[in-house]
Every structure is written in structure tokens, then in C-alpha cells.
A and B are shown apart, each in its own frame.
Chain A
Amino acid sequence: MGMIPSFLLHPTARRAAQITAGLIFLAAALPKIADLAGFAGSIHNFHLESVVPMAATNILAMMIPWVELIAGLALVSGVRPRAGAVVYTLLMAVFTLGVIQALARGLSFECGCFGKAGAATIGVKKVAENLVMMAIGVVGSVERR
């Protein structure tokens, strides 16, 4: 693990990263759970028809926020936090890829990442934000030794 600076491997840093990641996911999950239809529209904006059948958009919209919520709770509470951090990092990677492919195809829309209220149009800034949030997940998912 030579890529990660040693102070980030400290248990305190790891726990802090887990709590931060958990709070991020809780903040992302709750508005989406409250507005499933809005989130389904947001997913549709990514135009992943060639990867995910369009009919499955609604199923994803139902499941993703709840997986976020459970992973967020695991991270914050410290019950299976490493599993939570892995789920968080993987989901964040998928989201980031989604934004990147949308940008590459010249799509322009509000990402709906934190529900409709904090709507930000996708762009390079969104990608950078996601990468930082992903890095927090990586720090949080390092194995304790």
C-alpha cells in the first residue's frame, strides 16, 4: 500500500474517513428516498441504455438510495464499517464513471447526486468532487493491521 501516505493508514484517520463517507452517503440517500421519481429521472439522464436496459431504470432508482442508506449507517455506526466502505467506494466509482461517460458524450444535465435540491450540472468539477469522495472511501476501507 505504498500509494497511500502512512498517516492515512492510522486507525483514527480510517475511522474519520469512514464517518465522513457515511455522512456523505446518508446525505445522498435521504432526499432520493423521498423523491424516487425524481431520482429515476436523474438516472435516465445518464443515458446508459447500452449498459443497463432502460426498463431497469426504476428498479435501480428504488435500490440505489437504500443501499447508500445501509452502507452509510454501517460506516457511521461502525457496524461492519469496512464492508460499508467497500460498498461506498464501488458505488462512487460507478457514479464517477457514469458522469465521465456522460461528459464524454456531451450530455448536460443536473446529476441528482444529492437529490434535486442540491442540483449541480455535471462537469469536470463534479468528477473531481467524486474522485475526492472516492479517495475518502479508499482510506476508510483499508484493512486494519
Chain B
Amino acid sequence: MDRWWPDGTETGSRLWQGIFAIAATGCLLGVAQNALVRYGSPKDGLTWRYTPPKLDSLEDVVSSAAAANPAAAAPGGTTPLPPDMNDPLQLGAAAVNGAANIPDVGRPIQVQISKVKALFDAKAGTIIDAREPAEYADGHIPGAVNMPYDQVVTDPERLEKFDAGGKPIIVYCGGGTCELSMNLGFALVNAGQKKVLVYTGGWPEWSTSGYPVAKGATPDGA
């Protein structure tokens, strides 16, 4: 050995042995650590099977609100409340499909594409695109405001000052579980915004559904 330090002296089966030992020890320790925190006290750690984080869906929120207030929602029950003609939100919602208002529950609510399209058609929602400006310029939902999550985390004032015009806010991003739009949804609620909806299908679903799209750096795609 011409150096005092060992380097690259392992060859053949010794090398494979080492690789296997590192992988096996790592895996075992990882599982052991998780088991300790999972069954120890306080109970923490990961479940053995992954379950994706879930926002309440709009349907669930509306039906639980109805359950809390059965008089207003009972089928064929007592007088349904007429929409308030001075409230643009209620008008918008009524124009959508006679559906209930978007409740203000102090947390983001997940919505499906049909609801987004209905609000879009009725111009009853303020749409926010949480992706990067370049992706936004490549294509976005017409009228959507670009608010990249990465930018607003460093500038929370922008969230507080954002004027949704009394309409519900719909946040979307690149689809999947869509961490950007979830994070932005929670950030908006924390900044005091009401009625924040997260459209988790996002751009991939919208752009392949044959619905209108806009290109360019401005909401209407100039």
C-alpha cells in the first residue's frame, strides 16, 4: 500500500459484499427507525403503505354543511333560500348549475374539472396559475393570473393584497397531487383569502379536455 488511506482497494466479490452490506444496513436501519417512532411515544412516523394527502372535495364540504343545516338542504323540505341578487358569488353559482355557494371553511377545497369549467363559463371564479412563468406562457386557462408559488413564498404581501373580487379563487398547477397549487392554496388561506379551491387535475387535464386555452405572458394571452 503506497498511501496510508484506503481507496478503491476493494475488487471483485469484496466490492459486491460492500455494496450489499451498505444497501442492506441502510434499508434495515431505515425500517427500524420508522418502526421506533411509529410504535414508540409519541406516535409518529410513516404508515407502511402510502396514502396520498387529501383535501376535502367540494361535494363533501357542501354535503356536510347541508347535514349541519338540514332545514336549508332537505330534499323537498322547507323553503330553499333564494339567491342573494346583490352577491355576485351567489349569482355566479346560481348561473353555474343552481348549485350551492362555495362555503368558506378556512381551508382549501379540492374541485373537479366540471366545477372549474362551470365557474369558468360563468366567469364566477378567479383563476390562479401556480406554475412557473415559462410554463404559464406556454399555455394556461384563459383569464388565469400567474402567481408562481416559488415567488410568492418570498413575497407574502402579494397574497394578502390579491383581490379576488369577491369570487372564489381557483388554484391549479401541473397536475398530479400538485404540491404547488396545494401549497399556494394553503398560503392564500393563511393570508386571509376566502373560498380557495384547488383544481388538482390542473393544466394537463384542462389542456387535453378540449377547453379554451391561452398562450403568452398575460391572462388573456396577448
Spell out A's residues near B (CB within 8 Å): 11, 14-15, 18, 33, 36-37, 40-41, 44-45, 47, 54-59, 61-71, 74, 78-87, 106-110, 121, 140-144
Do residues A47 and B10 form an inter-chain contact, with CB atoms below 8 A? no
Do residues B47 and A83 form an inter-chain contact, with CB atoms below 8 A? no
Q: Tell me the complex Cα distance, A47–B49, Å.
A: 16
B211 to chain A, nearest CB (A): 17
Given A64-B30, A66-B26, A74-B22 in contact, is the A143-B11 Cβ separation under 8 Å?
yes
Q: Tell me the complex Cα distance, A89–B128, Å.
A: 40
Do residues A54 and B50 form an inter-chain contact, with CB atoms below 8 A? yes
Residue of B nearest to A45 (CB): B179
Residue of B nearest to A42 (CB): B179
- Interface residue total, chain B, C-beta cutoff 8 A: 46
Q: Tell me the complex Cα distance, A86–B17, Å.
A: 12
Spell out B's residues near A (CB within 8 Å): 2-3, 5-11, 15, 17-19, 21-23, 25-27, 29-31, 33-34, 37, 45-50, 52-53, 131-132, 135, 150, 173-177, 179-180, 203-204
Given A41-B53, A54-B50 in contact, is the A143-B27 Cβ separation under 8 Å?
no
Collect the chain A residues with CB atoms within 8 Å of residue B2's CB: 11
Contact of B46 among A61, A69, A71 (CB under 8 A): A61
Given A41-B53, A58-B50 in contact, is the A82-B176 Cβ separation under 8 Å?
no
Do residues B50 and A57 form an inter-chain contact, with CB atoms below 8 A? yes
B31 to chain A, nearest CB (A): 6
Query: What are 16 A-to-B residue pairs whose CB atoms are below 8 Å?
Result: A11-B7, A15-B3, A45-B177, A63-B31, A66-B30, A67-B30, A71-B26, A81-B8, A81-B10, A82-B9, A83-B18, A83-B21, A87-B19, A87-B22, A87-B23, A107-B174
Do residues A70 and B10 form an inter-chain contact, with CB atoms below 8 A? no
Q: Tell me the complex Cα distance, A44–B49, Å.
A: 12
Collect the chain B residues with CB atoms within 8 Å of residue A142's CB: 8
Collect the chain B residues with CB atoms within 8 Å of residue A33's CB: 33
Q: Tell me the complex Cα distance, A55–B52, Å.
A: 9
Collect the chain A residues with CB atoms within 8 Å of residue B26's CB: 63-64, 66-71
Given A45-B176, A45-B179, A144-B8 in contact, is the A106-B135 Cβ separation under 8 Å?
yes
Collect the chain B residues with CB atoms within 8 Å of residue A14's CB: 7-8
